[in-house]
Amino acid sequence: MSDIIHLGLIGDNIAKSQSPRLHRLAGRQNGRTVVYDSLVPREIGMDFDPLFAHVAQSGFRGVNVTYPYKERAAAKVEIEDPLVRAIGAVNTVIFGTTPPKGYNTDYSGFIAAYRLVRGAAAPGPTLMIGAGGVGKAVAFGLIALGATEIRIVDRDLPKAEALAEALTAAAPGLVTRTGTEAEALANGVTGLINCTPVGMVGYDGTPLAASAMVAAEWAFDAVYTPVDTQFLKDAEVAGLKIISGYELFFGQGVDAWRIFTGLPLDSKQLRADLQTPEE
C-alpha cells in the first residue's frame, strides 16, 4: 500500500459528512496521507452506475457508499459474508479485484451504538421507519441484539414487506408487521428508529409525531447531520433514552478504516480529534 490512500464517498446530500475528516485523521495516526473525495453523482454529471465504474478504474483503494445508493452498490460487488448478502446493501467497497468486494459496517456500527447506551438490554418490540439500505442493516442488527418483534414502515409498502420476508427467513421466530404510516404502528413499542433521510440537513422535519413517542423507552436516529434531529429532540422530551446517529457513523467509520487499510487505529484519540474544531 502506498503512503497515499485514495478513498471516497458516493452519495447525495453529503456536503456535511464527517467521513472525509474521519479517514484523514485515521491516516494521520498512521503517517499516511488520505485523499478522500466527496462524489455526488448529480454534481459530477454522472449516474451512479457509470460513476461507480469510473471510480473502480481510477486508483481508489475503496469507497464508502451512502443514501440512496447502498442497494445499487450491493449488485456490483462480491459479498463474502452471508449476513451482508441477506442485508442486500453495502456501504463499504474495496477495489483491486473483479468484481470489487462489498461490506456493510452500518450493521456493526448500529450494534455498537445500541450497546453503548442500552448495554445488554433487549430491544423489545421496535418500530423502524425506512426500509432502505441503512434500514436493512439496522433491522438485521436488531435481530442480533435479540429483537423478537420488528414493525417496518416505508412509503413503498412492497419494500417494507420484502425486508420483513428477509428478516423472518433469517430469524424464523421473528414477528413482523408492515405499513406505510408510522403512527399506525407505534402503539405498544419499546424502541423507535428513524432510518429515513428525514431530519438531516436538506430534509427538515421528523418521520414520527411527538405524540406517538410517549410510551416507548428508547429511540435511535440514523441521521447524524445534525446530531440533534427533531426526531431525537422529541424523543428526549418524551423521556426516552437517546441513541445518536453519530455513534453509528463513528462505529461504521472505524470498521471501514480497518477494511480499507488493515492499519491500527486509536479509536479514543480519533473520537477526540473529530470533536476538536478544524483550524
Q: Which residues contact 279 (CB under 8 A, 6 or more apart)?
A: none
> What number of residues does the chain have?
279
What strands, in cross-sheet order, belong to the sheet with 149-153? Answer: 175-179, 149-153, 126-129, 191-194, 218-221, 241-243
Which residue in 36, 67, 69, 107 is the catalytic one? Answer: 69
* Three-state SS at 34: strand
Q: How do beta strands 149-153 and 175-179 pair? A: parallel
Tell me how far apart the alpha carbons of residues 28 and 207 are, in angstroms, rounded to a whole number. 38
DSSP-derived 3-state class of residue 9: strand
Q: Which amino acid is at 49?
A: D
Exposure letters 150-169 (e unless 16+ CB within 10 A, then b): bbbbbeeeebbbbbbebbee
Whole-Å CA distances, 55 to 19, 59, 107, 202? 17, 7, 25, 26
Identify whether 67 is a catalytic site residue: no
Active site (catalytic) residues: 69
